[in-house]
């Protein structure tokens, strides 16, 4: 059963300050998501995990080559997951990878994605080829070939995204009503799957965020308002009423309204209302492109009253 922890309003990552209050005797793992490709505070998360004897699995699906203290995210815990789905910084169509220093775990994961076939340490003395229940979720060689080609470009593109993100941030940080991300302490590199900032309508003469987004798009800047809140989605209701959840959890734990109440994340709710994202490929543009984006945002700020009246 997933238990949600609220995020930090400046880094937009899981707030380590709020993790311990969610840990119970049933907790097994902490799953920080390096959301937007900006690293979560792994040093503090790992300390909490150690204290409570929990495993940590990093969702680094958006964070290829991001680093804390010079070490890659996804390698800072028991296991890290990466996505190569088409929007990602390393796209191959569909697919992903799990990394870990734990050979037994990796062998088990390899077996699982390949029909449960024997693999590495999973061979043992089990007779037959299929030693556990698995799925068929293998990458094809064609996707791997695309991935190898993409990999050659990843380092250069990551450097460029970081350079452009830092520059763009410096250009927009003083525009009233624009509050860009802050990186977690000790981050030596981010991945910038997205370039995020908070949009404060009050400083744009109450121009609603969707109108700001429309205006920014009209200036030729691709952008979006980001995700909606994950902790209130209908799939949770389905899960809570499923046979398997009923077999494992006490009745009061399966009450949807209770669940929503226990998993409130007010900071995240606010961020979902204020967030503006530029996609990663925008950061592969030129310095002049970054100047143009900053100019577009400043222009909308100056004319927000007029725009509000027109669109």
- Interface residues with ligand PLP (CB under 6 A) are 33, 35, 59, 61-62, 83, 85, 96
Query: Which residue number, 37 or 177, has a Cβ lying nearer to ligand PLP?
Result: 37
Q: 121 vs 137, which CB is nearer to ligand PLP?
A: 137
Hey, what are 13's tokens? 């990552």
Tokens for 246, please give them. Answer: 């009923």
Closest chain position to ligand PLP (CB): 83
Nearer to ligand PLP, 36 or 175 (CB): 36
| Sequence-ordered list of residues with C-beta below 8 angstroms from that of 299, at least 6 positions apart, any chain | 219
What's the closest the beta carbon of residue 171 comes to ligand PLP, in angstroms?
A: 27
Burial (CB count within 10 angstroms: exposed 0-12, middle 13-18, buried 19+), residue 285: middle
Q: Supply the minimum distance, in Å, between the C-beta of residue 144 and ligand PLP.
A: 15
Nearer to ligand PLP (CB atom), residue 33 or residue 213: 33
Shortest Cβ 26–ligand PLP spacing (Å): 24
Least CB distance to ligand PLP at residue 37 (A): 9
Q: Judged by CB, which is closer to ligand PLP: 281, or 302? A: 281
**Least CB distance from residue 34 to ligand PLP, whole Å?**
8
| Tokens of residue 28, six digits | 């097994």
Residue 29 or 218: which CB sits closer to ligand PLP? 29
| Token duo for residue 298 | 């400043």
Least Cβ distance, residue 181 to ligand PLP (angstroms): 16
Name which of 301, 299, 60, 24 is nearest 193 in CA terms. Answer: 60
């Amino acid at each position: 059963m997933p238990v949600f922890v609220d995020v930090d309003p400046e880094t937009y990552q899981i707030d380590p300050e709020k993790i311990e209050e969610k840990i119970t005797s049933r907790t097994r793992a902490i799953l920080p998501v390096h959301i937007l490709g900006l690293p979560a505070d792994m040093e503090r998360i790992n300390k909490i995990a150690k204290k409570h004897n929990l495993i940590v699995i990093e969702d680094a699906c958006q964070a290829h080559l991001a680093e804390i203290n010079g070490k890659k995210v996804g390698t800072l815990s028991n296991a890290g997951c990466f996505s190569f789905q088409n929007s990602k910084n390393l796209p191959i169509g569909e697919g992903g990878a799990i990394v870990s220093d734990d050979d037994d775990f990796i062998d088990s994961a390899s077996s699982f994605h390949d029909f449960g076939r024997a693999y590495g340490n999973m061979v043992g003395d089990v007779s037959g080829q299929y030693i556990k229940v698995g799925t068929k979720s293998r990458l094809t060689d064609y996707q791997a070939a695309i991935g190898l080609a993409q990999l050659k470009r990843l380092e250069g593109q990551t450097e460029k995204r970081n350079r452009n993100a830092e520059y763009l941030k410096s250009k927009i940080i003083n525009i009233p009503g624009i509050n860009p991300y802050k990186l977690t302490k000790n981050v030596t590199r981010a991945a910038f799957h997205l370039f995020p900032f908070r949009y404060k309508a009050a400083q744009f003469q109450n121009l609603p965020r969707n109108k700001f987004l429309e205006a920014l798009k009209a200036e030729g800047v691709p952008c979006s308002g980001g995700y909606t809140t994950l902790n209130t989605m209908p799939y949770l209701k389905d899960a809570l009423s499923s046979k398997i959840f009923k077999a494992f959890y006490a009745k009061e734990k399966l009450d949807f309204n209770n669940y929503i109440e226990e998993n409130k994340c007010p900071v995240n709710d606010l961020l979902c209302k204020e967030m503006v994202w530029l996609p990663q490929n925008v950061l592969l543009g030129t310095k002049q492109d970054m100047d143009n984006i900053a100019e577009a945002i400043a222009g909308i700020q100056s004319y927000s009253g007029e725009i509000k009246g027109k669109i």
